[in-house]
Amino acid sequence: MTISIETIEFHGIEALRLNGPRGASAIISKLGAQVLSWQTPDGRERLFLSDKAVFDGSVAIRGGIPVCFPQFAGLGELPKHGFVRTRPWRVATERCGEDYALVTLEIEDDEATRALWPHAFHTELTLMLEADRIDLELCVTNTGGSPFAFTGALHTYLRVTQVEDAALEGLYGYDYRDAIADNRIVRETGTELVVDAPLDRVYHDVRRPQLLKAGNLSLGIQSQGFPDVVVWNPWVEACAGMVDMSPDGWRHMLCVEAAAARQPVSLPAGEEWYGRQTLVAV
Ligand code: TA6
């Protein structure tokens, strides 16, 4: 198939399908500008999408790469993870080159967002698909007359065959806030993070890339602009309590998120901020 971008319906919602080099593909929904699928040329799906995910906009779609803005998790008064993940975005750019396909979706403040968060903003999410990698870039512009601050994340759900068999490298020596243990700050002493219990950690100021070693689904993960890396797996009990997850959903996912969580980003009037996450199949 030649490199192209097409509008499709995916689980009843409008989405764009990027057909990339060597049969790679990605799907991004206009609802939330959420990447919902990424397949590498070997035909493997690299993102987890819950088979109980809800696509009607009443809640965020469980899986893929939700965009959390202008608040990460419960770090403020806004709805959890902000409000753009359940709002419609517009397509701003579609472009194909010899070895890539690229789309940019955009959203800005309106009456409803200003009722929650009284700031003027323009936010773009660009997805670039190449043969073995995707790059996601979040660009936030303060279009108002006074500064604002935000937290946020690209809340990436990586697909794994069995999370117990996966290991995440690259976090040794960094401090993390452990949301499972009263938000205690702990220094990572392991060279490989293995998931064998609920995990909800914000690693601070991470300067190195991570490597997810997960059999045939191994991935390199790198971020720029986002200082923090969040690692999350709900494990058995919490997953059982989530209406949009199958009982065994926890086993097939690991969130490795590029985040600005510990320190809010301060954006003066008229200024722009960029954050990026790159996933590379290895
Ligand atoms: O990023 C990790 C986290 O903040 C966890 O605490 C967990 O609750 C998760 O996000 C999912 O949040 P959601 O609102 O999508 O259910």
Give the tens place of pLDDT for each residue, 211-240.
999 998 999 999 999 999 999 999 999 999
Is pLDDT at 1 greater than 80 in this prediction? no
Which entry of 119, 124, 137, 155 is annotated as an active-site residue?
155
Hey, which of 67, 80, 226 would you mutate to test ligand 1's pocket, going by the most ligand atoms within 8 Å of its Cβ?
A: 80
Alpha carbon of 72 to ligand 1 centroid (Å): 9
Residues β-bridged to residue 102: 95, 128
* Mean pLDDT confidence for 139-163: 98
Give the mean pLDDT of 161-189. 98
Residue range 171-189: average pLDDT?
98
Give tens-digit pLDDT for 229-268: 999 999 999 999 999 999 999 999 999 999 999 999 999 9
- Point out the ligand 1 atom lying closest to the alpha carbon of residue 81: 14
Q: Is 81 an annotated catalytic residue?
A: no
Q: Give pLDDT, residue 86.
A: 97
pLDDT class for 273, splitting at 50, 70, 90?
very high
Tens of pLDDT, residue by residue over 50-70, are 999 999 999 999 999 999 999
- Does residue 159 register a pLDDT over 90? yes
H or E segment to which residue 200 belongs: strand 199-203
pLDDT score of 21: 97
- The per-residue pLDDT for range 11-33, each reduced to its tens digit, is 999 999 999 999 999 999 999 99
Average pLDDT for residues 70-93, to the nearest whole number?
Answer: 97
If you write DSSP's letter for every residue of 163-215 in order, what string do you get? GGG-EEES-TT-EEEETTTTTEEEE---SEEE-SS-EEEEE-S--S-EEEE-G
Q: What is the mean pLDDT of residues 155-161?
A: 98
Residue 162, pLDDT score: 97
The residue to mutate among 81, 182, 256, having the most atoms of ligand 1 within 8 angstroms of its beta carbon, is 81
CA of 216 to the centre of ligand 1 (A): 26
> How far is residue 228's CA from residue 236's CA, in Å, rounded to a whole number?
26
Mean pLDDT score across all residues of the chain: 97
Active site residue 137: no
Q: Are 268 and 121 in contact (CB under 8 A)?
A: no
Q: Say if CB 3 and CB 96 are below 8 A apart.
A: yes
Which one of 200, 203, 239, 245 would you pick to mutate in the ligand 1 pocket, going by the greatest count of ligand atoms within 8 A of its CB? 200
Does the reported pTM lie above 0.75?
A: yes
* pLDDT value at residue 216: 87
> For the domain 4-281, what is the CATH code?
2.70.98.10
Confidence of residue 278 (pLDDT cuts 50, 70, 90): very high
The CA 253 to ligand 1 mean position distance, Å, reads 13
Q: Cite the beta strand spans of 85-132 per DSSP E.
A: 90-96, 101-108, 121-129
Give me the pLDDT at residue 132, please.
98
Q: How far apart are CA 126 and CA 103, in angstroms?
A: 6
The predicted structure's pLDDT at residue 15: 98
Q: How far is CA 198 from CA 33, 56, 234, 255, in A?
A: 28, 28, 5, 12
Query: In the prediction, which pLDDT does 81 show?
Result: 98
